[in-house]
């Protein structure tokens, strides 16, 4: 065989078989990095998560998982607040990714919807009933191994689309200082109200909360507590986007979030 042709074949074989750093299989490494350029690093997300979990967030006071996806729904970061992956509910890893995907998938440049805002619309008779079945989780992404890498920079979900719809608190869209939507954040590991509180505080710390508008009374994507029994004793949200109250502590903290951790670019 011609030496030049043989060398070319060998080079192509090596190029095609080389593993990607981010685990993606449908775009180049450069494209993946470009897709993550507007997002915080794994170290930055981990630091923010640990700092917020140490605060008073009501709920049970458990450790948490956090996931970030980019605008295309590709998982960019996965981390946890404990010392090791078993320090928080193992099932919350995939849930945090679903929440990140949901908030990103159903928020726009002019309207942000948190996963908490979607609780009431998807109930039977709600305007979005069935939404939670519309975009199933890719289990081949959610549960691929090795488990020892879960929550690390090379978590097996990174670089892949997780999918999934989650309709209780803990998922928020991410908006940079210019108001551009750049992805979604999902947090899971405690009550759904506390998940929302922690996600809100993390987003604020990361300066990715320049939310354009929302369905809450404060015109953002904060959790809404307006569910009460109707004439037939069925729980109904007055505004259509309500979420159940988890505990009185979370009710107070979350209601005050727009004041204690206001949206918009940090000075």
pLDDT, tens digit, for every residue of 61-84?
999 999 999 999 999 999 999 999
Q: Which domains does the chain have, with CATH numbers?
A: 38-260 (3.30.450.150)
The enclosing H or E element of 171 equals strand 171-175
107, HSE (Cβ side, Cα atoms, 13 Å): 39
Q: What is the pLDDT of residue 25?
A: 45
pTM of the model: 0.87
- Three-class secondary structure of residue 185 per DSSP: strand
pLDDT of residue 267: 64
Residues in the chain predicted with pLDDT less than 50, given as ranges, are 4-5, 7-28, 30-31
What's the confidence (pLDDT) of residue 12? Answer: 43
- For position 65, what pLDDT does the model report? 98
pLDDT at residue 34, as a whole number: 52
What pLDDT sits at residue 19? 40
Both tokens assigned to 15: 């190029």
- Tokens 């109707």 -> residue: 230
Predicted confidence at residue 30, as pLDDT, reads 45
59 three-class SS:
coil
């Amino acid at each position: 065989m011609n030496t030049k042709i043989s060398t070319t074949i060998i080079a192509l074989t090596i190029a095609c078989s080389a593993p990607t750093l981010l685990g993606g299989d449908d775009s180049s490494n450069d494209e993946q990095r470009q897709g993550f350029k507007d997002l915080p690093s794994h170290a930055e997300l981990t630091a923010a998560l640990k700092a917020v979990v140490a605060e008073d967030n009501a709920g049970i006071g458990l450790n948490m998982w956090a996931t970030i996806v980019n605008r295309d729904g590709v998982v960019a970061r996965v981390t946890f607040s404990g010392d090791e992956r078993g320090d928080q509910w193992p099932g919350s890893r995939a849930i945090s990714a679903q929440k990140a995907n949901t908030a990103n998938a159903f928020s726009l440049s002019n309207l942000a919807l948190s996963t908490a805002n979607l609780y009431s619309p998807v109930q039977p008779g709600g305007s979005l009933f069935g939404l939670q079945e519309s975009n199933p989780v890719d289990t081949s992404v959610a549960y691929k191994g090795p488990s020892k890498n879960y929550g690390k920079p090379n978590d097996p979900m990174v670089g892949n689309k997780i999918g999934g719809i989650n309709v209780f608190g803990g998922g928020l869209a991410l908006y940079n200082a210019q108001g551009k939507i750049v992805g979604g954040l999902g947090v899971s590991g405690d009550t759904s109200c506390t998940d929302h509180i922690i996600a809100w505080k993390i987003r604020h710390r990361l300066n990715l909360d320049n939310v354009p508008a929302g369905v809450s009374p404060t015109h953002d994507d904060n959790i809404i507590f307006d569910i009460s029994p109707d004439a037939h004793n069925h729980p109904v949200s007055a505004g259509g986007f309500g979420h159940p109250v988890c505990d009185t502590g979370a009710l107070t903290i979350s209601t005050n979030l727009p004041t204690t951790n206001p949206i918009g670019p940090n000075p």
